[in-house]
């Protein structure tokens, strides 16, 4: 089997780094994107076949830089199999504070618009590969259980992840006829630097490496949507079914991520 060619944003830590390690262990060739170039180089040095992998130190909000990185990776790897738009940020927000508007804009730019900018440069190549008989390409969006219902104090993050999941659904249907699969993964609580700052209980907390194993299996299978871990998938289904009055009663005083003061 030909080694996979995988492009991952937000790869310097957390879910992105865990996915990079998992794919590298399977012999993939990686294109890794993050702002912290020195951390990416340290990660690559620790991976099998380090000489195969490419590092792109850039901000995912710079769509031109993303497009340049995508073109370089396609040229070097001679194609593309999997693109994972993993880069994302989470901060506590409250609409009543005028200064939080800028935080909302930043979260939407990084979590939503950058997902579009990550996928866009690869679609033409994926279509050409599919026309030539390779219909195993995957575009992978990282949503969140937090996007299934709006969480208090996390309006920006919840709304951005809901947007990512709905966008990926639209894209999945849009590209179906072209032989490109779009996979949406909604993590629950995963042990990463993003969650380690939370000072409240996180049910079914999953180590990053376990998440990566399950995520890679999900991507390989071409699943349209999956919550990881599965226990949070059950919780997600229950949350979807709750009437608004009951959801509001249960979550009005739920623990929330602190604002940056």
Has residue 259 been placed in a domain?
no
Any bridge partners for residue 191, and if so which?
207
Alpha helices in the chain (DSSP H): 14-25, 37-45, 63-77, 100-108, 114-131, 155-175, 193-196, 208-221, 230-241, 244-251
Q: Which residues contact 45 (CB under 8 A, 6 or more apart)?
A: none
As a whole number of angstroms, the distance between CA 62 and CA 26 comes to 30
State yes or no: is 157 an active-site residue. Answer: yes
CA atoms within 13 A on the CB side of 36: 12
Is 258 part of a structural domain of the chain? no
In a domain, 260, yes or no: no
Mean of the per-residue pLDDT values of the chain: 93
Residue 170 and residue 182 in contact, taking contact as beta carbons nearer than 8 Å = no
pLDDT tens digits for range 226-239: 999 999 889 989 99
Q: CA 238, 243, 247: angle at the middle one, nearest 5?
A: 75
Predicted pLDDT at 1: 47
Which two structure tokens, joined as six digits, stand for 111? 């979590």
Considering the domain boundaries, does residue 39 fall inside one? yes
Q: Is residue 261 part of a domain?
A: no
Could you tell me the CA-to-CA distances from 220 to 136, 170, 214, 217 in Å, in that order? 9, 20, 10, 5
Q: Would 48 be classed as within a structural domain? A: yes
Among the listed residues 23, 56, 97, 157, the single catalytic one is: 157
Q: Tell me, what DSSP letter sits at residue 254?
A: -
The share of the chain scoring above pLDDT 70, in percent, equals 96
Q: Is there a domain that residue 140 lies in?
A: yes
* Residues spanned by the domain of 92: 5-252
Domain harbouring 121, CATH code = 3.40.50.720
Residue 258: pLDDT over 80: no
**Tally of domains in the chain:** 1
pLDDT tens, 177-218? 999 999 999 998 888 777 766 666 677 888 889 999 999 999
Assess contact for 137 and 179: CB atoms under 8 A: yes
Q: What is the model's pLDDT at position 201?
A: 65
Spatial contact of 24 and 30, defined as CB atoms under 8 Å apart: yes
Is 98 contained in some domain?
A: yes
Cβ-based neighbour number of residue 233 at 10 Å = 17
Tokens representing residue 57 in the block: 């130190």
Give mean pLDDT, residues 116-141. 96
Question: If you ran DSSP here, which 8-state letter would residue 147 be given?
Answer: G
CA distances from 151 to 53, 113, 127, 197, 249 (A): 38, 21, 38, 17, 12
| pLDDT score at 198 | 67
pTM of the model: 0.94
């Amino acid at each position: 089997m030909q080694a996979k060619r995988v492009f991952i944003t937000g790869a310097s830590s957390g879910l992105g780094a865990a996915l990079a390690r998992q794919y590298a262990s399977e012999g993939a060739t990686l294109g890794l994107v993050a702002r912290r170039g020195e951390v990416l180089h340290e990660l690559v040095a620790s991976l099998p076949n380090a000489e195969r992998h490419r590092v792109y130190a850039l901000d995912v909000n710079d769509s031109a830089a993303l497009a340049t990185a995508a073109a370089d990776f396609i040229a070097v790897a001679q194609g593309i199999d999997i693109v994972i738009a993993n880069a994302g940020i989470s901060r506590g927000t409250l609409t009543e504070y005028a200064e939080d508007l800028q935080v909302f804009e930043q979260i939407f730019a990084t979590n939503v618009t950058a997902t579009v900018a990550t996928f866009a440069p690869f679609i033409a190549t994926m279509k050409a590969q599919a026309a030539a008989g390779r219909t195993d390409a995957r575009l992978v969006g990282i949503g969140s259980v937090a996007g299934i219902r709006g969480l208090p104090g996390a309006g920006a993050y919840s709304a951005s992840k809901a947007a990512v999941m709905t966008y990926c659904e639209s894209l999945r249907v849009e590209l179906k006829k072209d032989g490109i699969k779009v996979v949406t993964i909604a993590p629950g609580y995963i042990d990463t630097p993003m969650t380690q700052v939370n000072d409240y209980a996180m049910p079914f907390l999953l180590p990053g490496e376990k998440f990566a194993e399950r995520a890679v299996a999900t991507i390989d299978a071409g699943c349209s949507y999956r919550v990881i871990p599965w226990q949070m998938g059950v919780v997600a289904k229950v949350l979807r079914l709750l009437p608004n009055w009951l959801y509001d009663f249960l979550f009005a005083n739920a623990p929330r991520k602190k604002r940056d003061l």
